[in-house]
Amino acid sequence: MKVGLYTISFAGVWYDGPSLPLEEIFKRAGDMGFDGVEIGARRPHASPMDLDGTARERIRRQAAEAGLEIAAVASYNNFASPVLEHRENELLMVREQIKLARDLGAPVLRLFAAWRGITLRDGHGTYDMTRWYWDHGHPDVTGIERWQWVTACLREVAEFAGEIGVTLALQNHDPVIRRYQDVLDFLAEVDSPALKACIDCPLLRSQQDEYVMEAVRATGDLEVHSHFGGEFEERDGEVTQRPIRFTDREPFNYPAFVAALKEIGYEGYLCYEFCHPCLGEKHELLGVEAAAEQVQLAQRYMAKLVG
């Protein structure tokens, strides 16, 4: 099992400060002891629209010079829109992201069934508006319709990915997907060897040992990629989880999750993502070095856990 860093952590969205260029992220990740990186396939880092062949080769070289594998590329797709042109646009972007993964030497492209997106306020990211948009937009659309649109789109991109040798990893991220079983149902209905699973512990409906371990066991060798998140602190030389500030999210059950991954023989990546506001004790937005501290603590925590 390997520990990676997802570049969204330094995209300039969740802390007070600019995004870091990929080369600097790679250097920091290498210095912190990460095994690899997952690259977000959107601006500011790696939108396929912005990267010609020379730029893609440069990214590969920079990662290798930092001693890192490119573990995965991350899409931000929404296959659940009722608008035909929207779904066609999403299909086109995902096809380009599949080609980007191939060109970067990444074996995996992480997919959503649907993604609400984010909006920016004064340059800082928030989920607040897009959650409302999703909940209140298209009130005439049924859940079954959304499911069928997603299935059709997944089937199409899986066929393309299989042709060029990239594996798609469907994440258990809402909306549309509510349970890890939904991921497994999509995989069964699409029935493509190019479509696998990305089950993340923080997104499970329960953090009880039995539920967490059953999710991993049920997924088995379909699991090809995963993420971890949260916040960390050091006490007496030991890195432990702490509750995410100003939320009701308690620490995640990574010990049970990793134990189950070892049990099924998982050898892929766990990539850390800092993807929530980086807040101080007075609700102030902190700078990039506060996010970097969390990234380093996360690496130490998970590296010890995976052994």
The two structure tokens encoding residue 209: 């040992």
Q: Residue 161 contacts by C-beta under 8 Å, 6 or more apart in sequence?
A: 98, 109, 167, 168, 194, 195
- Return the C-alpha torsion angle 206, 77, 110, 104, nearest 10: -160
**pLDDT value at residue 255:** 98
Rounded to whole angstroms, the Cα distance separating 199 from 187 reads 12
Kind and range of the H or E run holding 63:
helix 53-65
How far is Cα of residue 103 from the mean position of the Cα atoms in its chain? Answer: 19
Q: What is the pTM of this model?
A: 0.97
**pLDDT value at residue 219:** 98
Query: Could you tell me where the DSSP H helices lie in 141-179?
Result: 143-164
**pLDDT (tens digit, 0 to 9) for every residue of the chain, 307 residues total?**
999 999 999 999 999 999 999 999 999 999 999 999 999 999 999 999 999 999 999 999 999 999 999 999 999 999 999 999 999 999 999 999 999 999 999 999 999 999 999 999 988 999 999 999 999 999 999 999 999 999 999 999 999 999 999 999 999 999 999 999 999 999 999 999 999 999 999 999 999 999 999 999 999 999 999 999 999 999 999 999 999 988 888 899 999 999 999 999 999 999 999 999 999 999 999 999 999 999 999 999 999 999 9
Helix (H, G, I), strand (E, B) or coil at 89: helix
Per DSSP bridges, beta strands 119-121 and 124-126 are antiparallel
**pLDDT value at residue 282:** 94
Query: Which residue has 């916040």 as its token pair?
Result: 231
113, 178 contact by CB (below 8 A): no
Query: Could you tell me where the DSSP H helices lie in 165-221?
Result: 180-190, 209-219
In the chain, domain spans: 2-306
For residue 150, give the amino acid letter. Answer: V
**pLDDT value at residue 241:** 97
**pLDDT value at residue 53:** 98
**pLDDT value at residue 148:** 98
CATH for the stretch 2-306:
3.20.20.150
**pLDDT value at residue 250:** 83
**pLDDT value at residue 299:** 98
Per residue in 150-169, pLDDT tens?
Answer: 999 999 999 999 999 999 99
7, 291 contact by CB (below 8 A): no
Query: Which residue has 């134990």 as its token pair?
Result: 259
199, 228 contact by CB (below 8 A): no
